[in-house]
Amino acid sequence: MTATKRHPAPALMLFAVALALAGTGAKPGAKPSSPAPVVTGAVKVQSAPLLLNAVGAVEPIESVAVRPQVGGVITRVAFAEGDDVKAGQTLFQIDPRPMQAALAAAQAQLARDEAQAANADAQSDRYAKLAAKDYVTREQADAARTQADVFRAAVQADRAAVEQAELNLAYATVSSPVAGRTGSILVTKGNVVAPNGSPLVVVNQLDPIRVSFAVPADRLPQVQRHAGGGPLAVHARPSRDGQGEALVGRLVFVDNAVGAGTGTVTLKAEFPNGEGALWPGQFVDVDLVLAVEQGALTVPAAAVVTGRDGLFVFVVGDDRKVEKRAVVVDRTIDGLAVVAGDLRDGETVVIDGQMRLAPGATVEVKTPKGAPKTASGGAR
């Protein structure tokens, strides 16, 4: 009879495996935890401006509603809507013939009175000489002198009338009083206009241009203190999505009173606007630069997390493990947070993926979509 081999029961085999796993501290079926994918940024020590934010409205430095100063029929419109015009450039022509006729009449009246005044002066001189020899009475000499004075006064009035007629003739050519851009033509060729009537066109000066904005009255002392060193820089961002390039101007006006109903003070900044980025009536984001802080500690604003114990950031160490560090945010500027805390220049902080992290967790740095890959694979 041959001997039969005995195999261990399956239950005993499973029990042995469980004991082996228990000895190593592992759990049946457990897998090692994988690093959490994150996007990182850098801690930087750099200069950071101290800003006062506001919403401003763009307004032209000069805006002129061009009105006719004499009446008549418009015979010519010398520009197109939206044209840039120079100061003194002709915009409209009013029929000049009535003004030319009035000027000719005034000139004729002046010539007649000048002739009469010359004759009256000569007559006055003759009567004065005759009165000295008692050939005429003193009363006759005085009357001749008075007549000469009357004609001289008439000549002065005639000259004023001629100047007025010449001015009216000049007003028949309507010119732009300022350099700027024209708006819609409000009165077209063939229409009759009256002196000081409805506007013909509005001309706005666009370069340079101003932005008006308001700040709380309790910030006025701060503005005045920093403005003592010279004009403050002002940044205006025309794009409301915050993506456009900021234009740089200077503070030129601080109102002399606080608005009774608003508790704010109106400020104005002037900007070069050669490319027409700012437009009258447009609303823009305004940053008044009060000062520039040197050596400020900054992190990407997205790195700051709000926890039960306050604000903190996750710092990635050389071993790719994260450490939680508390911070205090002073201000945020264009996606950067100026902070105080136990951070050093050049350290790496997590800016995306914090919800999957805990202190001591291992991370894998990913490159955000649209960003170029670097040698370390991190985002810069």
CATH class of 63-91+177-204: mainly beta
Regarding pTM above 0.75, the answer is no
The identity of residue 312, as a single letter, is F
pLDDT of residue 20: 41
Burial label for 356, CB within 10 Å (0-12, 13-18, 19+), is exposed
Decide if pLDDT at 23 tops 80.
Answer: no
Beta bridge partners of 331: 338
Kindly state the tokens that stand for 365: 């740095």
Question: Could you tell me if residue 29 is left (phi over 0), alpha (psi between -120 and 50 degrees) or otherwise beta?
Answer: left
pLDDT in tens, 71-81: 999 999 999 99
Q: In whole numbers, what is the pLDDT of the chain averaged over residues?
A: 84
| Main-chain dihedrals φ then ψ at residue 140, nearest 5 degrees | -65, -40
Fold of 36-48+295-365: 2.40.420
Q: What confidence tier does 129 reach under pLDDT thresholds 50, 70, 90?
A: confident
Q: Any idea which architecture 51-62+208-293 has in CATH?
A: Beta Barrel (2.40)
Who wins on pLDDT, 128 or 314?
A: 314
Query: What span, in angstroms and rounded, lies between the C-alpha atoms of 307 and 304?
Result: 10
Identify the residue whose tokens are 């911070």: 327
pLDDT of residue 139: 84
Q: What is the CATH number of domain 96-171?
A: 1.10.287
Task: Give the domain ranges of the chain.
Answer: 36-48+295-365, 51-62+208-293, 63-91+177-204, 96-171
Q: What confidence tier does 104 reach under pLDDT thresholds 50, 70, 90?
A: very high
pLDDT in tens, 162-201: 999 999 999 999 999 999 999 999 999 999 999 999 999 9
Decide if pLDDT at 53 tops 80.
Answer: yes
